[in-house]
Amino acid sequence: MNPIKPLSTHWEDVYHANLMQAFLADDMELKNHAFQLPALRHQEERSISNPVRGFRNEFSAVMADWILDGKVQISDAMLALNPNAAKFATILDHEKYGYHVTAYGPRIKGQVEHVLAELRRDPNSRRADIMMLAASDQLVAAAMAAGDTKCEYLCTYGFNFRLRGGALDMSVSMRSNNYTTTVCQDVYVFARLQSHIAELLGVPVGAYYHHTISGHIIEGEAERAVEILRTYCVAYADAHGPVAWTEANGWQTALKQFTQKCYRLGVE
């Protein structure tokens, strides 16, 4: 498959280019996929406006606050905005597997001081890391496999923060990303984390780098991915004309392959 270049560096365009590549890929999975974004300083830069995607800024902001506060239990504010948030259990408490907190918040908050101290000690450091997935999380994986918990096995390996050119760059490393939906939530929340660290250091936000071992469209979401992509393409063509689709950026060929794959899948 030929690479598809985003039609700009904005997250909105990068997201849809990634989703198109995932849809066209074998088994709808991009292996060892990476993308880069410029500084995401404001909410609109971290958000997706495509109405079919239905990205909820208010819920995402509350979720980011909950994580940055280091909370474990799902907050009442999150539940009020999205009752489905209750399904994201954050504690494994089981006789066989013991007590295990799976929430992102405590893991992140407990390591922020290390990041700050390391970069203040050495602005050129490459050791300012927040580690997320740990060996002990294999207990959660075992409990999930046995059907003994609804807790999630973390998708995020960790974060690295670097001061480059006077700004704070951040790299995110993940084992898995749903490229139809949850990658949008991840980028929003993680960009808030980057902004939070930058503010504490008193420096500007820099570039955002994201790498995932498996960027995929999960079974049952192909039709939704198609509708998201169709809506994006129609809106972009209306705004910029057919000149947007060229061989140079890969979109001309991608749209032909998209139509062919929709036909093969029986997606109208």
pTM for the whole structure: 0.95
266 part of a folded domain = no
Residue 211 lies in a domain: yes
Sign of CA dihedral 205, 209, 214, 218: positive
- Neighbouring C-beta atoms of residue 40, cutoff 10 Å: 23
What Å distances lie between residue 260 and 242, 255, 264, 268, CA to CA? 19, 9, 6, 11
- Asked if residue 268 has pLDDT above 90, the reply is no
Boundaries of domain holding 45:
28-219
Q: Is residue 11 part of a domain?
A: no
pLDDT at 95 over 70: yes
Whether 100 is in a domain gets the answer yes
* Block residue for tokens 């489905």: 84
In order of 88, 118, 123, 203, 255, the CA distances from 126 in angstroms are 33, 9, 9, 17, 41
216-238 pLDDT tens trace? 999 899 999 999 999 999 999 89
76 domain residue, yes or no: yes
Residue 9 lies in a domain: no
Q: Using pLDDT thresholds of 50, 70 and 90, give the confidence band for residue 59.
A: very high
CATH value at residue 208: 3.30.572.10
- Percent of the chain scored above 90 by pLDDT? 82
176-219, pLDDT tens digit by residue?
999 999 999 999 999 999 999 999 999 999 999 999 999 999 98
Report d(CA 114, CA 259) in Å as an integer. 50
pLDDT at res. 1: 65
Does residue 99 belong to any structural domain of this protein?
yes
Number of domains the chain is built from = 1
Residues with Cβ within 8 Å of residue 126, at least 6 apart in sequence:
160, 162
* 153 pLDDT more than 70: yes
Residue 13 belongs to a domain:
no
The whole-angstrom separation of Cα 142 and Cα 246 is 48
